[in-house]
Amino acid sequence: MMIPRPSGLVILLSGLLALLAAAALLWGEAALDVPAAFHDWLAGRPTVGAVILGQLRLPRLLLALMVGGTLGLSGAVLQGYLRNPLADPGLLGVSGGAALGAVCVFYTGLFQIAAALLPLGGLLGAAASVGLLITLVGRGGPLVLLLAGAALSSFTAALTALVLNLVPSPYATFEIMRWLMGSLTDRTMTDVWLALPGVLIGSVLMLGTGRALDALTMGEDVAESLGFPLRGWTGVQMRVVAGAALAVGSCVAVSGAIGFVGLVVPHLLRPLTGHRPARLLIPSALGGAVLVLAADLAVRSLAGRAELKLGVVTALIGAPVFFHRVILFRKQGTL
């Protein structure tokens, strides 16, 4: 089988993403002249088209691109650094910290004061988790990172369960559970601006590790001999941890937990990039954005009395893919 050139793969994924983005802006219950609505929105004219575009469709589209791209990229980086194709952004525990922060906002009732306090609470929870994770890992290696992530995930999950147990209102409990399932519904440009700094900084940190990840395929000693220090505050591990945690935490703070994207996308695209970690980064970001945007379009098309949650749809897509891969590996005798 001929391996497609990564540049061709990037072009293909970019074209598919552009088509899905156009569909996300054009398709909906109300017909919309997108160029005219966009012009009105930029000019500040409160026309019907400008409201639909600027308050409903555009924020949802931008968040789908940000969340999907971040999850796909962070999954590829973590799998490359840990040299484990089953590594997932959720193993850092930062997602649980962001969820805990948002749940605390629900519990205290602060979200009733201003809607922006919900993602802000998630960002504070993510920031606290990033700081705790970096402190726990220190100069330790990949095993320490895995153990610290597992401990942080368990701790935040226990605290979230405690808050749910203490919530006095069944309605609040229901709203918390709905948020934890992950969704892009009713998000605004405020959510986009809140998540954007962390996503940009984290993505830059992760994209800068490509050459080091390639060197790591030959072992840690070889990577360090080639000039890629792994430990310390400026090492590869710190850039991977800080970048993935910051970007993923920012996304979870505004979208809730959306699983399987960072696990499935790099796993599927890796054979198409020659199994080179550096070549996998950009395609994984594009592929993650494609998957989340397509899943969100499916959610919108299936919306009835109760809209499906995006996190549920991505899990329903991702799990069968892994069932298929397990069966395939068993037939090939590689498992």
pLDDT mean by block of 10 residues, the chain; 335 residues: 63 95 85 84 86 89 96 94 84 86 82 77 87 83 86 91 82 79 88 92 94 90 85 82 89 88 90 90 96 92 73 86 77 65
- 119 contacts 191 by C-beta, under 8 angstroms: yes
Q: How far apart are CA 47 and CA 206, in angstroms?
A: 40
Give the distance from CA 282 to its chain's centroid.
14
Q: What is the pLDDT of residue 201?
A: 94
Q: What is the pLDDT of residue 306?
A: 64
Domains annotated on the chain, with CATH: 6-332 (1.10.3470.10)
Q: What is the pLDDT of residue 335?
A: 55
Q: What is the pLDDT of residue 304?
A: 60
269-288-261-193 Cα dihedral, nearest 10 degrees: 160
Q: What is the pLDDT of residue 44?
A: 84
Q: What is the pLDDT of residue 199?
A: 94
pTM to 2 decimal places: 0.89
What are the angstrom distances between the C-alpha of 114 and each of 98, 255, 329? 18, 17, 50
Q: What is the pLDDT of residue 305?
A: 58
61-63-64-66 Cα dihedral, nearest 10 degrees: 120
Q: How far apart are CA 310 and CA 288, in angstroms?
A: 13
Q: What is the pLDDT of residue 280?
A: 94
